[in-house]
Structure formats: structure tokens, C-alpha cells
Amino acid sequence: MSTVDLASVSVRDLNSRLHALPPGTNERHWRIVNPKGEHAIAAGLTLPLEVEIEGHTGYYCAGMNKAATVIINGHAGQGVAENIMSGEVRVKGNASQSAAASGQGGLVVIEGDASARCGISMKGVDIVVGGSVGHMSAFMAQSGHLVVCGDAGPSLGDSIYEAILYVQGKVESLGADCIEKEMTPAHAKTLRDLLARAGIKADPKRFRRYGSARKLYNFHVDHADAY
């Protein structure tokens, strides 16, 4: 294991070292200490590395992740795992707004709560939140899954496309074109698998499913006030 202390090394130098690793490297396990809320830690990784961050991180930690596993033993600032393509990003604490924004693949696990706009414009990523999410989560979500084991704030799934949302707790309100849908056995299995992958214990039978009513795909004058 390679340990990097951000009290003496800059984030730029750390990321440069991680980006310069060759595909066949044996230096796959990294431990980062004293992150002190720095921004863009371990961003843009493209190899199947294991990166463990001991403490809280700032904006865009593990952004644009591809293939790597990044574990944050603390809280994460805005845009954690933004535009993730594959791999896994796990936040042991809470996450600020726009977690996994525009994520195209991979798995993002937030063991605590996530703030506003969690999963905004998600495009294939799977997100599992152990706690609650804030307002406008899954706004314009195109594909993938958002699992919320707690409650959801106002305007959940506003202008949603084909992403699938599962919520165990209360939903304060649904956004435009988002409706509750039937929880079929196939959906229950998908949810069970997602919870297992995330390592979060919850009963799939207590969740409800939400998705698009498909009324905003094409302009219709009767729905003009919803655009």
C-alpha cells in the first residue's frame, strides 16, 4: 500500500502520480491521509485502483472515475463521483449536493444522507443512499437507478426520463412527470441486488418505485404549465 499525506503533498501532485501509473502497475492500493477538505482528490482515475481517503473531502472527489474503487472515510463535498463512468465510489458519511451528477455507469454508495440534486442528470449510474436525499434529486435523470433508504425531499424526479427510483421513506413531493409505479417482482429483485452490492441492509418490500409518466417527451399544449 502506498500512503500519501496531503499535509505535505499537493492534490495536483497526488493526482499526477495516480494518472501516470501504467496499466500493469502493482501499485494498486493507495491510502490518502489528511485530505482536509481539499477539492478534486483522486479525480479522473482510469485504472482499477483501490483508493482509501481518511477524512473529509471537498468538491468533485473521485470525479470522472473509471474502473477505480474510491472509499471516503468521512463526508464528501459537492459533486462527489461527478460523471462517474465505471468502478465504485463509497462515502462512509454524508454527501453534499449533486452527488454522482451525470454519472454514466458504476456504483455510488452514500452510507449517510445526500443533499440536493443527488443523481441529477444521471445517465446509467446506480446510486444507493443509506439515509435521505434533498430536493430535486434525480432531476432530468435519464437512466440508471437511485435507491433511497430514508426520505426524499421536494420535487423528486422532476422531468425524469427512464431512470428508476426506489424510496423506502416519505417523499415530500414528486416533480413534473414523475409518478409512483407498480413494484413488480422483477423490480424487487433489481432492488435487492442493488442493496446487496451496496452492502446496505433494508427490506425491498418496504420500498416504493417511481418513474416517468412519459407525458413530457413531446410538447402538448395541455401540459404547457409543466415545461
pLDDT value for 216: 79
At residue 221, the pLDDT reads 67
The DSSP letter of residue 193 is H
- Long-range pairs, 97-106, Cβ under 8 A, ≥24: 97/134, 99/127, 100/125, 100/127, 103/127, 103/144, 106/65, 106/81
Backbone dihedral region of 29: left (phi > 0), alpha (psi from -120 to 50 degrees) or beta? Answer: beta
**Predicted local distance difference test score (pLDDT) of residue 166:** 98
| Domains, in order of start, for the chain | 2-226 (2.160.20.60)
What confidence score (pLDDT) does residue 57 get?
98
Which amino acid is it at 91?
V
List average pLDDT for each run of 10 residues in the chain, which is 227 residues long.
Answer: 96 98 96 98 98 98 98 98 98 98 98 98 98 98 98 97 98 97 97 98 97 82 65
Over the stretch 82-102, which tens digit does the pLDDT of each residue have? 999 999 999 999 999 999 999
Can you give the pLDDT at residue 80?
98
The mean of the pLDDT values for the chain is 96
Closest alpha carbon to 89 in 114, 61, 113, 69: 69
Residue 14 is predicted with a pLDDT of 98
Q: pLDDT value at position 223?
A: 64
Q: What is the pLDDT of residue 39?
A: 98
Q: Per residue in 114-143, pLDDT tens? A: 999 999 999 999 999 999 999 999 999 999
Query: From CA 99, how far away is CA 220, in angstroms rounded?
Result: 32
Cβ(63)–Cβ(45) below 8 Å = no
- Is 158 within 8 Å of 176 (Cβ atoms)? yes
CA distances 75 to 71, 83, 111, 167, 211, Å, are: 11, 19, 10, 22, 29
